[in-house]
Chain A
Amino acid sequence: MDTLLEILSELRPDVDFAAEDRLVERGLLGSFDVVMLVTRIEEEFDVVIPARLITPETFRSAEALYSVIQTLSEED
């Protein structure tokens, strides 16, 4: 989770990702950020988030995103 928080902070230093749970709804993560994030996650976690999982629910909070990464890692 710490690695993910680091990646998120690199992307948007102005957002408190540990506390925020409406990232997409509040416009804190746009579609550009999401794609950059997916690329970074693949680099760090060796996990590919498929298009069907790129939804506002997945990216609503760091916790939700981490849970998806864990599920995908287990499937692999």
Chain B
Amino acid sequence: MLFTSWGFALLIAVLIPLYYAVPQKCKTAVLLLANLVFYAFAGVFALLLLLGTAASVYCFARWIGWLWTQQKDSLAAHREDWDKAQKKSFRERMEKKRRLALALCLVLHFGILFGMKYGAGIVGLANGLFGTTWDGTKIVLFMGCSFYTFSAMGYVIDVQRGKYPAERNPFRVLLFTSFFPILVQGPISRFDRLGETLFAPHRFSRENLEAGLLRVLWGYWKKLIVADRLLVAVKQLIRYPETYNGAFVFLGMLLYAATLYADFTGGIDITIGIGRMLGIRIDENFIRPYFSKSIGEYWRRWHITLGAWFKEYLYYPISVSKPLRRLTKAARKLGDGFARRLPVYIATFAVWAVTGMWHGNSWNFLVWGLSNGVILLASEELSPLYARFHGRFRGWKDAWAYRAFTVIRTVLLLSCLRMFDCYATVPETLRAFGSMFTVWNLPMLWNGGIASLGLSFGDWIAAGVGVVLMFAVSLQQRPALLTPRFLQKPLAVRLAVYGTLLITILVLGYYGFGFDAGQFIYNRF
């Protein structure tokens, strides 16, 4: 089921009163039912995979939890008669068993995800090599599979690390894995953080309901009025790269930045808003990312939960892994500075290669990911130079103009990188990028160019007002200050705002010809 379908609106309209009407002990069952209804629309196989993932994750976590209990019990039983070496050796044996269980779990679930993401390409390769005629196009990625797999694997890794015990109640694991607001585009959630609020008792609260409703309406506003409208122009620009080059590429870069922001943050607003209406706190996934002053800061403020997942479960484990430590030791012959940088460089490129592959199955995404890695490393290496610069020009760092310059520089840089996400191939992307500096066609934009992008004058006005409004809200929205202030306004004002948002969504929402009414860009990941 899509967030932008009438069926989804009906599901929420039925769920909210029902959820608060039933006794606390039945709330989990009501949410589980809502999850099943929501995901049943993805098809029988998708639903079976989701249920199978939850069951498998429950079993693996319980197995690992059982190994932890065995270790603690045995160490307690032999506290007196085992010496330090025996205890250490026993702990290491048990750690190996837990790692094996975890490895099986990761291989199984990431294997399924990999198969779905890359299956068609692998089949194509096999057909080319062996002359077979298998149909790879039937292999599709089920909606949300990436997101719930990552959340579920995070839970099993945490249990293996002993961060918290394995959950005994299978329905709680199922609820965590299949919680419908976060199912199709995240945020990638942590069992301890989401579980704390998901399994807690919830009483009806007007404040939660209104704050959630406001967030949901704002999310739909961004998605249907700004993102879906601008996407029409972006698609037109990408479809004909030979025609739309030079200044059009620059325009496309900025339009795509606005589209992606409105689409993804809009979807997350809906997710967090629905959670809030149910009294469930879902982690934020964005903190005003376009106000970042560097690419590193941007990645700490955009899709926060994915970045945090990769950092905690991939970047650090790779950088302290045995093979890399051995390599670092060997590299000391070439200099301490080089040896100490080696794990940072290898782990950074590994993580960004995987981040690229997560976003898509073409070379574009790999190049996009690795380019991010190069910029982040270059930025780190140049940091002493920046420090010297700011030492020489004291006061610049805090000057309004310099801060604005760094923000605009970051937005332009990340928009350039995102071109790999737009164009079909790497050479096409590079050609389009190069044309910005070689083709001087700026006047063509207002001599009919903009008018040819599939949007009417009214559409451009609506999208423009939307972008200005998003910017104004972002300026005001120093984390979570806006909503509490709004909730203190008189009822008439609040109703007027809800009504205006709803009516403008219904009247100005973009439902044009050929428009895929509901697919969020991040649903495809």
A→B interface (CB under 8 Å): 14, 30-32, 34-36, 38-40, 42, 48-52, 54, 75-76
Contact = CB atoms under 8 A, between A and B. Distances in A.
Interface in B275-315: 296, 311-312, 315
B252 interface: no
A54 B380 contact: no
B347 A35 contact: yes
A39 B88 contact: no
A14 to B, nearest CB: 7
Contact of B320 (A38, A40, A76): A38
A30 B319 contact: no
Contacts, number: 46
B325 A42 contact: yes
Contacts of B328: 39
A6 B311 CA distance: 26
Contacts of B311: 31
A31 B315 contact: yes
A32 to B, nearest CB: 5
B387 A49 contact: no
Where chain A touches its partner, the secondary structure class is helix
Where chain B touches its partner, the secondary structure class is helix
Interface residues of B, number: 23
Interface stretch (B113-121, B338-346, B437-445): B338-346
B387 A35 contact: no
A54 B311 CA distance: 10
Given A52-B161, A52-B162, A52-B163, A38 B319 contact: yes
A51 B162 CA distance: 12
Contact of B316 (A14, A39, A48, A51): A51
A34 B319 CA distance: 10
Nearest to A54: B316
Given A32-B380, A35-B319, A51-B316, A14 B88 contact: no
Contacts of A42: 325
Interface centre among B312, B315, B320 (most CB of A within 10 A): B320
